[in-house]
């Protein structure tokens, strides 16, 4: 397949008039001009005139969509979630769990591993985003900063639990969120940082505690600003520690509700080339207003706001592509917003060798965006082309 006449988003965050050739699920060539031999004149050609060609989006923190939740723990739910994601421009996913009973979390790891294995066989779930990881958000969090998580199942991290997550998921657990002030947190970060990434989350940690966790290997922050102490001028907390740790990535929910426009702009200035846009969407994304559940708790949705009975914000209902556009509407340069929804999340979970940018040897996951509206014109995932 050839994709030509578009402006291609490159690894150095530029738009250049390049031609892309793919072979099956892989990108083989990206160059200024690709001559087509006479014997290959019949290969399919996509005319990307009037479009930006960008990598498929990667969402590494969301709970569900289209009426389903990752914690529903079924192949049907995972197929529905992954199908919705692909239709909305997210070509690879690392969905998040909630704070639930340990037995349920173990079962989710097993079911996700089955889905991943079946998808890898190429005959199953192909009209879906590719499952590339699991994000364990809970149960290793702070009671005081639990947000929409269920307090009944919060516990400190331990070696046995993490070993089970990694084993039952067959290595699919790529990110574990935790509060570093909990007992044993620093120990497990040091012990398992080569097997999975760790993220500081739902925490009361001060600057010193957060910095110690980052030095131990927790080089990620879950939904920056949310469920953590604010950036205070005497103790800047997790936010200040992340700013002082040059290789620490930070997630940002840019739905226009969780984080104000000035705070979004501040994050992109404070963390150049380290912001990861996430949707943090729950099962109501793509569905009408009404009552839903998240982590076993009832959530009421009206417009783009999802809240528990006590008014606590419970995730978002905004897909990642719209979060990216919202960031642009707040003054973030398009190139920075795209990188934050493509290569940055992939780098943070160690998936950037295959995903997140348009270059030879990587998966042929791409979007064609209308240059005027930034709406998705076509979605390319290997040999599949969706409109």
| pLDDT tens digit sequence for 217-260 | 999 999 999 999 999 999 999 999 999 999 999 999 999 999 99
Residue 37 lies in a domain: yes
> Residue 375 belongs to what domain range?
2-53+371-386
Q: What's the CA gap between 199 and 238, in Å, rounded?
A: 11
What is the pLDDT at residue 42? 63
Strands 384-386 and 376-381, by their bridges, are: antiparallel
Mind listing the pLDDT tens digit for each residue in 153-182? 999 999 999 999 999 999 999 999 999 999
What is the pLDDT at residue 124? 87
Residues 148 and 293 in one domain: yes
What is the pLDDT at residue 133? 98
Residues 225 and 130 in one domain: yes
Q: Which two tokens stand for residue 200?
A: 């500081």
Is residue 70 within 8 Å of residue 78, measured between CB atoms? yes
Under-50 pLDDT residues of the chain: none
Residues 304 and 317 in one domain: yes
Q: Which two tokens stand for residue 112?
A: 């996700």
Q: What's the CA gap between 93 and 100, in Å, rounded?
A: 21
What is the pLDDT at residue 384? 87
Residues 129 and 209 in one domain: yes
What is the pLDDT at residue 17? 97
Residues 203 and 272 in one domain: yes
Residue 362 lies in a domain: no
Q: Does this model's pTM top 0.85?
A: yes
Q: Tally the domains of the chain.
A: 2
What is the pLDDT at residue 278? 98
Residues 45 and 176 in one domain: no
């Amino acid at each position: 397949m050839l994709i030509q006449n578009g402006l291609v988003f490159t690894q150095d965050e530029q738009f250049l008039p390049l031609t892309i050739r793919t072979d099956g699920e892989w990108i083989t060539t990206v160059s200024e001009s690709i001559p087509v031999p006479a014997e290959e004149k019949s290969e399919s050609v996509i005319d990307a005139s009037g479009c930006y060609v960008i990598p498929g989006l990667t969402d590494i923190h969301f709970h569900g969509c289209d009426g389903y939740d990752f914690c529903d723990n079924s192949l049907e739910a995972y197929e529905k979630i992954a199908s919705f994601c692909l239709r909305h421009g997210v070509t690879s996913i690392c969905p998040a769990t909630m704070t639930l009973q340990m037995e349920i979390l173990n079962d989710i790891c097993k079911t996700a591993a089955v889905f991943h294995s079946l998808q890898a066989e190429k005959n199953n779930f192909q009209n879906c985003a590719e499952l590339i990881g699991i994000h364990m958000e809970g149960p290793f969090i702070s009671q005081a900063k639990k947000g929409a998580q269920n307090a009944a199942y919060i516990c400190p991290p331990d070696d046995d639990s993490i070993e089970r997550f990694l084993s039952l998921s067959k290595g699919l657990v790529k990110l574990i969120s935790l509060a570093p002030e909990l007992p044993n947190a620093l120990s497990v970060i040091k012990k398992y940082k080569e097997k999975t990434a760790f993220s500081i989350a739902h925490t009361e940690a001060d600057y010193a505690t957060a910095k110690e966790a980052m030095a131990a290997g927790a080089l990620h922050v879950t939904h920056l600003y949310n469920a953590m102490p604010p950036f205070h001028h005497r103790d800047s907390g997790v936010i200040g520690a992340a700013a002082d740790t040059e290789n620490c990535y930070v997630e940002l929910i840019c739905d226009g509700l969780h984080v104000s426009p000035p705070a979004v702009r501040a994050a992109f200035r404070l963390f150049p080339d380290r912001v990861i846009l996430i949707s943090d969407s729950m099962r109501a994304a793509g569905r009408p207003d009404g009552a839903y559940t998240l982590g076993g708790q009832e959530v009421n949705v009206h417009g783009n706001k999802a809240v528990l009975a006590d008014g606590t914000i419970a995730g978002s209902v905004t897909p990642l592509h719209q979060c990216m556009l919202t960031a642009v509407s707040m003054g973030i340069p398009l190139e920075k917003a795209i990188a934050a929804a493509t290569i940055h999340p992939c780098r943070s979970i160690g998936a950037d060798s295959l995903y997140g940018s348009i270059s030879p040897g990587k998966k042929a996951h791409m979007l064609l965006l209308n240059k005027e509206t930034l709406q998705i014109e076509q979605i390319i995932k290997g040999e599949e082309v969706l409109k």
